[in-house]
Structure 1
Amino acid sequence: MTAGTADARAALPAPLAAALDGYEDHLRTQRDLSEHTVRGYLTDAVGLLDHLARRGGAQAHDLDLAALRGWLAQGRTRGHSRATIARHAASARSFTAWLRRAGLTAEDVGLRLVSPKAHRTLPGVLASDQARAVVESTSGAEEPVGLRDAVVMELLYASGVRVSELVGLDVDDVDRGRRLLRVLGKGSKERSVPYGVPAEHALDAWLTRGRPALATPGSGPALLLGARGRRLDPREVRRTVHAVVAATEGAPDIGPHGLRHSAATHVLEGGADLRSVQELLGHASLATTQIYTHVTVERLRAVHAQAHPRA
């Protein structure tokens, strides 16, 4: 939470501050959300309640549809994108739904809130040959950090896992016999994700020659370690991916999430069905996975040309 948000929270009238405290407890203890997600929900709730207080509202039941719309309109005047406004609206609906369940309001005013749909777009996606060049550019390293970077790149692209899932892996989460990762995803949902032979080779080199050189008594069971022996920080993973991709000629500037998108796109182009890709990525809804289908249009056209009698 930024200093500005913290100051706005501290200035809220006592009843609104109490409601916010209850909402935070709900997010942390009942929904078991990640710290990053909790912070995002709270930041939006503080912004909404600050807007309400400036309009003269002092109680949760003072929150009405006009206040919600005014808060979103305020974002538009500040130049927020459609995606940001849509996210704010979804966050507000989560908060108003909780207020109703907690008995702090007589109705859920967020049910009547209409917001613009965000444009569902993907960041840059690597072509298959670019992905191969990017990942293979880290092979051949001998020093511990280089061996770690190689396994980071291989696992991100091979499995399509999120950065948080990757750095959260422990040594025992890797089933090397079946080449599976046991991943703890969003909402503490566990899934098994396969990885390939090149990633296994990189993993073997890391576990035999890289990790032992960096491990300290404080390393614990973490699979991936930083230079000082602690569990690898997601920010270091992002720096590594951006640096490796930038060194590949013609490749778009992408980070770890771009590698995840690339993996999903290439699996679909290889003939996998959406349900399989949904399971691979750990999406709760198939609708989320469907955003990848627009990058496989060329494959669809090729199938049509081959199969349709009047193509």
Structure 2
Amino acid sequence: MAATPRSAGLAPAAGSERFLRHVAIELGLSPHSQAAYRRDLAAYAEWLAEQGIADLASVTPRTLSDYVAALGSPSGDRPPLAPASITRRLSTVRGLHRFLFEEGALDSNAAGGVRTPKRAQRLPKALPVEDVEALLAAAGGEGDAADPVALRDRAFLELLYASGARVSEATALDVDDLLAAPGRGDAWGDPVAALGEGGFLRVTGKGAKQRIVPYGSYAGRALAAYLVRARPGMVERGSGTPALFVGPRGGRMSRQSAWLVIRSAAERAGIRAEVSPHTLRHSFATHLLAGGADVRTVQELLGHASVTTTQIYTQVTADTLREHYLQAHPRARAAR
């Protein structure tokens, strides 16, 4: 039999709305982040109701420990959440209780001492160089007969691998974010001369932070071909946009379209490994480090706030080097 809710002091729904107004107005989080917060808080409120708790003041550290345990356990048809999802939900709930405590709506912060479950370290999966080359070739976009969409797809994938940009960052680019090397003009005037030997990219990353990332001649030539032979015709079908990558109807390329481009190219290239929107970013970082790039440089190029995030790629590179060593050195393995 369901427990009877206690009398409400500060109901979870009311407290959640106050917190959501705070993250929207004072923290300025994106609509996407606000929606994620709202989902997490709704799930928390639902669980509290199942426990008969209708007042956030009644929540204790033990209550929250029980909530974390519940998230990690199967319930009915729902499988247990992954550690990363539990961490995200607990972070939202912690923010709720901390905010309400600091605002004086709660007498104590029940979430202050609740420990986050350890997350298993997932190593990023990078493609071998030959697989990346096959994927790029499978996008098409070569020769005079290449159709506009193939030219766009090739330029898009070349730029992802050349810059290490996130898919969301690449689809948000405008033509003005393409910066030619000094003395080579501008991308609007003469793309072939300005970009053919490579240049720089102004990328806006997380927290609206901008970084300047170089790209090489392969990406430069693919971009120039797209800007001259494909983008003008696509943009004419729309209402005009500064977007660098556009769809056949002239609107900005969506992240969903970008994912389909990557998956389709991987299928045509016959790549059996799982390929995700982040695969070319992982490959970019791994191949740079394997080629001798400094980890701090790769950190700047990826837009990581902390070098700790970037160092996971050094482990991938070290594992690859050890594998090659064990395969190649005559005395690397004991005789059997």
Do these two structures clear the TM 0.5 threshold for a shared fold by scoring above it? yes
- Tell me what 2:242 maps to: 221
Q: CA RMSD in A?
A: 2.5
How far, CA to CA, are the matches of 1:208 and 1:107 in structure 2?
62
| 2:213 aligned with 1:212 | no
- CA drift at 1:202: 0.9
Aligned to 1:47, which of 18, 30, 43?
A: 43
Q: Which of residues 279, 296, 301 in structure 1 aligns to 2:300?
A: 279
Match of 1:254 in 2: 275
Q: How does 1:73-92 map to 2 (within 5 A)?
A: 73-78=69-74, 79-92=80-93
- Cα 1:64–1:14, aligned 2, differ >3 Å: closer, same or farther? closer
2:161 counterpart of 1:140: no
How far does the alpha carbon of each residue in 1:58-108 deviate from its partner, in whole angstroms, 9 at most, with x for none?
Answer: 333233222222222222222222232233223322332222233322333
2:40 touches 2:89 (CA, 8 Å); kept in 1?
A: yes
Check conservation: 1:130, 1:251, Cα contact below 8 A: no
Instruction: Name the stretch that deviates more: 90-99 or 238-247.
Output: 90-99
| Superposition pairs of residues 9-20 of structure 1, within 5 angstroms | 15-20=11-16
Q: Which amino acid aligns with 2:123?
A: L
Give the 3 Å change call, closer, same or farther, for CA 72–265 of structure 1 in structure 2.
same
Measure the CA separation in 2 of the matches of 1:253 and 1:146.
22
**Structure 1 stretches lacking a partner, 5+ long:** 1-11, 306-310
Partner of 1:176: 180
1:31 matched to 2:27 = yes
Question: 1:180-199, aligned counterparts within 5 Å?
Answer: 180-199=200-219
- Partner Cα distance (1:270, 1:104) in 2: 55
Closer, same or farther: CA 128–155 of 1 in aligned 2, 3 Å:
same
Distance (Å, rounded) in 2 between the aligned partners of 1:96 and 1:273: 41
Q: How many residues align?
A: 295
Deviations 1:111-161 (A, max 9, x none): 211122111213532011111221133241621111111111011111111
Change (3 A) 1:298 1:123: closer
Query: Alpha carbons of 1:303 and 1:147: their partners in 2 closer, same or farther (altered >3 Å)?
Result: closer
Please say which of residues 43-52 and 158-167 is displaced more in the overlay: 43-52
Q: Does the CA-based 8 Å contact 1:176-1:200 persist in structure 2?
A: no
Query: Is 1:66 aligned to residue 62 of structure 2?
Result: yes
Q: 1:101 and 1:274 mapped to 2: Cα distance?
A: 39
Q: Identify unmatched segments of 5+ residues in structure 2.
A: 1-7, 75-79, 183-198, 327-331
CA-to-aligned-CA distance 1:219-246 (integer Å, 9 cap, x gap): 3211111121111110010011011112
Task: Quickly say closer, same or farther: Cα 1:29–1:188, change in 2 above 3 A.
Answer: farther
Give the Å deviation of 1:18: 2.7
Match of 1:238 among 233, 254, 259: 259
Whole-Å Cα distance in 2 between the matches of residues 22 and 172 of structure 1?
Answer: 40
Q: Give 1:121's aligned residue.
A: 122
Displacement after TM superposition at 1:303 (Å): 12
Question: When you count helix as a share of all residues, which structure comes out higher?
Answer: 1
Cα contact 2:9–2:57 (8 A) shared by 1? no
Q: Decide whether the 8 Å contact of 1:123 with 1:254 is kept in 2.
A: no
**Hey, what's the Cα distance between the residues in 1 that align with 2:57 and 2:286?**
46
In 2, Cα distance between equivalents of 1:247 and 1:235: 18
Secondary structure at the counterpart of residue 175 of structure 1: strand
Tell me which of 292, 300, 306 is aligned to 2:313: 292
Q: CA deviation at 1:251?
A: 4.3
1:115 & 1:62 partners in 2: Cα distance? 21
Aligned with residue 169 of structure 2, among 162, 165, 169: 165
SS in 1 for 2:269: coil
Query: 2:165 is paired with a residue of what secondary structure?
Result: coil
Q: Secondary structure at the match of 1:56?
A: coil
Q: Distance between the aligned counterparts of 2:96 and 2:277, measured in 1?
A: 31
Partner of 1:3: none
Pair 219,96 (structure 1): closer, same or farther in 2 beyond 3 Å: farther
Conservation of the 8 A alpha-carbon contact between 2:175 and 2:244: yes
Moved more, 184-193 or 232-241: 184-193
Q: After TM superposition, what 4+ stretches of structure 1 lie above 3 angstroms from structure 2?
A: 12-15, 298-305
Q: Alpha-carbon deviations, 1:12-57, whole Å to 9, x = none? A: 9984323222222222233333333322222112211222233233
- Asked whether the 8 Å contact 1:180–1:195 carries over to 2, the reply is yes
